[in-house]
Amino acid sequence: MPHGKVLVAQGGGPTAVINQSMAGVVLEARKFRNVELVYGAYHGVSGIIKEDFLDLTQETSHNIEMVSGTPSSALGSTRDKPDLRYCQEIFKVLKAHGIGYFFYIGGNDSSDTVRIVSEEARRADYPLRCIHIPKTIDNDLVGNDHTPGFPSAARFVVQAFMGANLDNAALPGVYLAVVMGRHAGFLTAASALGKKFPDDGPHLIYIPERTFSLEKFIADVKATHDKYGRCVIAASEGIHDSQGNPIITQLTRQVERDAHGNVQLSGTGALADLLCDEIKRKLGIKRVRGDTFGYVQRSFVGCVSDVDQREAREVGEKAVQYAMWGDRDGSVAIKRTGFYSVDYQLVPLESVAGKARVMEDEFIAPGGTDVTDAYRLYLRPLLGSGMPDTYRLRLNRVDKILNPSK
C-alpha cells in the first residue's frame, strides 16, 4: 500500500445519508498507517480546483459520527460537470498536494469525473487510486441494485402520499403531486407503497419509462374520479411525450432551463400547476389541488431509512478497503444477495460513468399507471424499520328516519 494523503468529496444533489458515506471514508482511512492525512474538498470538485480543503484528520471521531447522521452534504456540493480540461486541473491539484487516494461520492456525472481523473493519473504514471462511491435519490446508477439516498427519499414519498391520500379521502377531489427522479421513475413509483386499502391512492402513477399522453391522462383521471369520487395522482418530473419532449414544454411556452441548456425539471412547481389547470379546464372538477415535493424529499430530517444509513456507511468503508487492498480503480456497487441482504463489488468505472438506469419493465404494471408486486417486494425492505400504518373506521351506518330513500 503506497503512502499518501486521502481526499474525499461530495457531488451533485444532497441526500439524507451522503454524510454516512463521507464518515465511512474518513474513519476507515484513519485506521491505515500509510495514510498521512485525510482531506475533504469543500464544495466538491469546484473546491478541488480552488484548493479549498478541510483537514478531516483533525476532526474528532465523535463529531464525525454526529455529522454522519445529519442529512445533506456536510462538505458542501457542486453542480459542476467536469470535462477533460476541468479534470486535468483536478489532477494537477491532487498531484501538487500529494493525494494518493481520491474518493468521490456522487451519481452519474461524478463517476465520469472519477473515470477521467483516473485516466489522467495513469497517463502521467502517477500513483493515484480513484474510487467512485454511489449516491443518488434517482436510483439511476447502472450496476447497482439501488443507490444510497434513494431509500430515504422513497420513504419520504411513501409517507407523503399516505398523508395526501387520507386528506383527499376526507375532502374528495383530485390531488396531484410531482416527484423528483429526472428520467427514472423509481422515486415516483415509491408512492404505490403508501396504499393499504383497495381504494387508496395514488390511483394513477405516471413515470418517464412510459410515454405520457395528455389526452389519455385526462381520460384516466375522469374514469378514476367517476369510480371513486376522487383521484390521487403521482407524476414524475421527467414525464415526456412520444418524441421524448418533457410534457411541460407542451403546456407552456416559457420553460426554465438550467446552466447546461436542459429543461429545468426540479425546483419549479410549474408542471403540477399546469396539469391541474388541464384537469379543471377539461373535466370541470372544482376541487383540484397540486403539489411539487421538490427539494424537501432529498434531505428530510425526520424521514431517514436505517437501512439506507447502514448501507451508505458501508459503501464508504468498502471504498477505502478496495483502495488500500485492491489493485484497480472503480465504482462501489450494491448487489442484493437475499431477502433482505446485500454485498458490495468494485465494478469498472467505464461500466457506470455516463450511463443511466431506468425502471425495469417487470416493475411496471401492464396499464402503465401502476407498479407490480415485484416492485413492492423490491422496495419494501429498503424503506427501513418503523414505517407508520394507517387505519379507517368501519362504516356501520345508521338507518335514516326523515329521508330513508336518500
In this predicted structure, what is the pLDDT of residue 260? 47
CATH C-level class of 151-297+360-383: alpha beta
In this predicted structure, what is the pLDDT of residue 254? 64
Tell me what the mean pLDDT of segment 254-277 comes to. Answer: 72
In this predicted structure, what is the pLDDT of residue 249? 82
What are the sequence ranges of the domains in the chain? 4-137+303-351, 151-297+360-383
pLDDT digits over 217-249, tens only?
999 999 999 999 999 999 999 999 999 999 988
Confidence band for 264, pLDDT divided at 50, 70 and 90: low
pLDDT digits over 127-146, tens only?
999 999 999 999 999 999 99
CB hemisphere CA count around 161 (13 angstroms): 30
**pTM for this one?**
0.95
4-137+303-351 matches 151-297+360-383 in fold: yes
SS3 35: strand
> Is 311 in contact with 148 (CB distance < 8 Å)?
yes
For residue 389, which amino acid is it? Answer: D
Q: Give percent above pLDDT 70 in the chain.
A: 96
**How far is residue 190's CA from residue 148's CA, in Å, rounded to a whole number?**
15
In this predicted structure, what is the pLDDT of residue 3? 77
List active site positions. Answer: 138
CATH of domain 4-137+303-351: 3.40.50.450
**How far is residue 310's CA from residue 384's CA, in Å, rounded to a whole number?**
10
pLDDT digits over 241-263, tens only?
999 999 988 777 566 665 545 56
pLDDT digits over 75-98, tens only?
999 999 999 999 999 999 999 999
